Structure 1
Amino acid sequence: MRKIVHVDLDAFYASVEQRDDPALRGRPVVVAWRGARSVVCAASYEARKFGIRSAMPALRAERLCPEAVFVPPDFSRYREASRAVREIFERHTRVIEPLSLDEAYLDVSENLTGLPTATAVAEKIRAQIHAELRLTASAGVAPNKFLAKLASDWNKPDGLFVIRPKRAQALIAPLPVGRIPGVGPVLEKKLATLGIFLIADLRAADLALLQDRFGKYGQRLHELSLGIDERPVSAERERVSVSAEDTFPADLSLDELPPHVRRMADRTWAAAAKLGKPAYTVVLKLKTSEFRTLTRSWTGEAALSSSGMLADRAVDLLARVNLPPATRFRLVGVGASNFRDPEADAQRSLI
């Protein structure tokens, strides 16, 4: 049986700001640029009491809490703090699956420090983060990734919760289905039409019905309702795509987008180059002034060979945006994906 710990830094960006500036401590801090087009990157727990959440428009956050302190994000400092947290993780296990700068799964079935239990490992990690980095983290301990992630939310902030195998099904039964990863508002509504509101309802639902309505994911939902999750912690998560995007100060027409597409392509190429493998697919992302998101993609037989080629293909994709001429756009993004190992491709061509 695996011993999994999910560690989640509490209000990470905002907590780093409060740590580094004593004047911000105890105050509602919103990490975001000010402006009509900005969105909230993070909110301190003092700000969350006013209903402010990540991804919320900054203007709405300001209306909810006029006294909030807005701090522009400093991602270089957040990345440095994340690296320091990673170093603490590595004292305890080499099997680490980062999900973002502020959370990760750790398989501590065999930990490096000789601590007797996974709970002891989680407690030690939290203590080291607090003592060395002056940040707090919440942790969940469980026999699998699904349960560990649920557990880390149980006692936030600065909490620890353990879900033991024998108690798992009883503990998760009364939770709403929206707590299951991958069950967003749309799927939640579809489940509600079947009378499924809680994990207990999902567990009682007919498996054939779930599979008929949701395909393979129906089977997955059934397994999660029973607390079953066989996914291992993946220490080496392969990047499947890289991208860059930008929100404009003012909406632009389609004809005004090419230079911005090229600018994002340059940023994407720089990030893709670090992976050491060429990409074969270009993705263009646009968001209209009405917040409609659309994507277009191109895949070539040959790999992308330069930033210019990536930019050219992305600009070409603008011709496939069939919207009224009056449409205005607030965001553009360029992505590269379908990375392949050239040597592996050459070997396949010889078979």
Structure 2
Amino acid sequence: ERAINKTMQTFNDNKAGMIGIDKERIQKIIEENTSANFDEYAKKRSERIASRIEHNRKLLTTFTAQQIAKAQCEMDELVESLEERRDLSRIALHIDMDAFFAAVEMRDDPSLRTVPMAVGSDSMLSTSNYIARRYGVRAAMPGFIGRKLCPELKIVPCNFRKYRTASHEVRKIFEEYDSNFQMGSLDEAYLDISEYALTRLEPVERTRIRYTGDCICRLPLLTEDEKEEMKNANVSESLCGKCGKTRISIVRELRFRVEQATGLTCSAGIAPNSMIAKICSDINKPNGQFRVANSKEAVLKFMRDLPIRKVSGVGAVTEAILKGIEVEKCGDLYDKRAIISLLFTRCSYEHFLRIALGVSTSYTAFFTSEKESRRKSISVERTFHPTGDIGLLLEITENLCNELVESLAKRMIRGGYSATVKMKFSTFDVITRCVSVDHVICDTSRLMPLCERIIRNELREGNKQLRLLGVRLSRLLFIDDKIESMKSLTSFWSNGKHDTVVDAETGDDGIEEIDEEGSNDATSLFPSSAVSSSKSSTNSSENGTENHIVQLCPICEAELPDELSVVNSHIDECLNRQAIAELQDERKEAGESLSLSRKISSKRRRSPSKPTKSSSVDGIRKKISIRDYFTTRNL
């Protein structure tokens, strides 16, 4: 457990500008200024992870040689499948603005360029400049701890209007290189410049403006140290055989244009896919670029010795769990693929194998199916001083709902069928509560009541305080989608009453960095009324119990676990879509109510044994109508 505590609480210096800092001194200052609440939370989290690691180690001792060999064969088949989908024909580009918020503030106020500064507040910092990073001041750090690390630190409040304006200027440049580019946030973007490279048959000349001298007010500025470097900027580059232009020089041109237009610098990663490109963009920060060649050998060599924490989506929890089975580098994910498949879910081990192989499908341009590439959810959240004032919390929630709803149109989203509220308590425990409905949540008047009910329900007992609120919409409906009926089976058979049984307790968060969505729960399939609620949690009780959500099948009233595959399989046994369509057609033609199905002549009554999906008459399989099914059960 001590090793886990060290892994979880060690200062994370995986940030540009932090090479060579005194980690031990920084860690000591952070520990001395950490609240008792956070210490207790960190202790509980470490205990949960230690329990998970111990569980995995015990499982490892139970696996037979045959099980491991079988798992190895299955993973090798998956490797072959992923290799078939490896695409080395694309030029993926990840652009990351350098210390974006801080850079905008320094651009507009030259006095900030020579002092350690950060953007944010004493509660939380959004980013810091590279001078402050030498002291260990970084994003996602409380400002008061930043001042302890660097007493001269100047903290500037966030001004998102300025940041959005600068981001918009940068976006206009990106669009010229890839009209389908995707913004990861205000300060990062994913591009596919493959088509642009093919159409750029002639070199393009542009005028560069750089200012020299003692004045630092005008940007972009060329320092004395950079002059010698600029002389050799384009040495030893090979031309592309297709377009006569190097990929590296195209990216350098893009970065140059961003600098000229905004006075801000950016770094870039170039690779066959966006996962690797994102890793590359951090290697030569600030104001640099790095490329992994478009070959299988180059990709595997790059990923082999890469620490797993460098991969986007692998956080401290996942890192600790993987280290528990001696997996520290991406190459280890491949070497231990058999036992990883036995210990983790398919979603997780397939993701790990993709990382090991350097195969990614994370950027829209690489999908053959537009539907497949669409986002699964959209969310917004805010951190604030801990409070238990329900009025203030509801006001914050309403603002979040308004912000979320306003962002739907520009993302071509009509709405969603599931609303989730994320709550972080003053104890740093985090829970999420999800509500699924049978209508589209498309405005604040529909979203806010659902969120309010969840929050009031969580705060009705005890003296609880929140320090973060988040609102998320999932099961999204896009503007170009056809609106399909979302009626539940219970509402279809309006005369029948079937209750939803929910037994939710706090459970283990598992590897939340890998797959946090997980909203395909059985609760949303069979609401007992117009609305059904499901509970999930990213914190655990001392007993480490997991969520148990039980549903009653509206047909046979059997209890169903919270597993979508089990639910689907069970429902397939109880009825089929053709039977539903048959009943709907009959009701439209005859105007009969469903209750008449219970008065059908007993001549049609079947055997009292469990009804099956189909029967055989004279060797021909026939589907049983829904009428026959209910006749069998009720007469």
> Any conservation in 1 of the 2:388–2:463 contact (CA below 8 Å)?
no
User: What is the SS of the residue equivalent to 1:110?
Assistant: helix
Matches within 5 A, 1:221-300: 221-234=352-365, 238=374, 240-253=376-389, 257-272=393-408, 275=412, 277-300=414-437
Change (3 A) 1:55 1:94: same
| Structure 2: distance between partners of 1:211 and 1:333 | 33
CA deviation after TM superposition for structure 1 residue 306, in Å: 4.3
**Is residue 96 of structure 2 the alignment partner of residue 8 of structure 1?**
yes
**Is residue 287 of structure 2 the alignment partner of residue 150 of structure 1?**
no
Equivalent residue number for residue 212 of structure 1: 342
**Is residue 456 of structure 2 the alignment partner of residue 327 of structure 1?**
no
| Structure 1: distance between partners of 2:305 and 2:358 | 13
- List 4+ stretches of structure 1 deviating above 6 A: 347-351
Equivalent residue number for residue 266 of structure 2: 137
| Structure 2: distance between partners of 1:155 and 1:273 | 37
**Is residue 126 of structure 2 the alignment partner of residue 55 of structure 1?**
no
**Is residue 475 of structure 2 the alignment partner of residue 338 of structure 1?**
yes
| Structure 1: distance between partners of 2:477 and 2:124 | 34
> Any conservation in 2 of the 1:4–1:118 contact (CA below 8 Å)?
no
> Any conservation in 1 of the 2:386–2:426 contact (CA below 8 Å)?
no
Is 52-61 or 260-269 further displaced after alignment? 260-269
Higher relative contact order (CA 8 A, sep 6+): 1
Equivalent residue number for residue 186 of structure 1: 317
Letter in 1 for 2:475: N
| Structure 2: distance between partners of 1:334 and 1:49 | 35
Letter in 2 for 1:210: I
Change (3 A) 1:171 1:339: closer
> Any conservation in 1 of the 2:419–2:451 contact (CA below 8 Å)?
yes
Change (3 A) 1:39 1:302: same
User: What is the SS of the residue equivalent to 2:473?
Assistant: strand
Equivalent residue number for residue 107 of structure 2: 19
- Compute the TM-score of the two structures, normalised by the length of structure 2: 0.51
CA deviation after TM superposition for structure 1 residue 325, in Å: 0.9
> Any conservation in 2 of the 1:92–1:121 contact (CA below 8 Å)?
no
Number of aligned residue pairs: give it: 347
| Structure 1: distance between partners of 2:292 and 2:176 | 24
| Structure 2: distance between partners of 1:284 and 1:232 | 27
**Is residue 128 of structure 2 the alignment partner of residue 43 of structure 1?**
yes
Which digits, 9 at most, give the CA deviation of each residue in 1:263-301, with x for residues without a partner?
A: 433343333465451332222222211121222121111
Match 1:108 to one of 185, 193, 200: 193
| Structure 2: distance between partners of 1:239 and 1:226 | 24
User: What is the SS of the residue equivalent to 1:281?
Assistant: strand
Change (3 A) 1:345 1:323: same
User: What is the SS of the residue equivalent to 1:300?
Assistant: strand
User: What is the SS of the residue equivalent to 1:91?
Assistant: helix
Percent identical residues: 31
Mark the runs of 5 or more structure 2 residues left unpaired by the alignment.
1-88, 202-242, 488-579, 582-635
Change (3 A) 1:65 1:143: same
> Any conservation in 1 of the 2:420–2:471 contact (CA below 8 Å)?
yes
Which digits, 9 at most, give the CA deviation of each residue in 1:11-65, with x for residues without a partner?
A: 11111111111111122110012x4xx2111111111111111111111111111
Mark the runs of 5 or more structure 1 residues left unpaired by the alignment.
none
- Compute the TM-score of the two structures, normalised by the length of structure 1: 0.88
| Structure 1: distance between partners of 2:157 and 2:459 | 36
CA deviation after TM superposition for structure 1 residue 9, in Å: 0.7
Equivalent residue number for residue 175 of structure 1: 306
| Structure 1: distance between partners of 2:185 and 2:258 | 17
Equivalent residue number for residue 197 of structure 1: 328
Match 1:97 to one of 182, 196, 202: 182
> Any conservation in 2 of the 1:174–1:198 contact (CA below 8 Å)?
yes
CA deviation after TM superposition for structure 1 residue 324, in Å: 4.8
Change (3 A) 1:299 1:156: same
Letter in 1 for 2:265: T
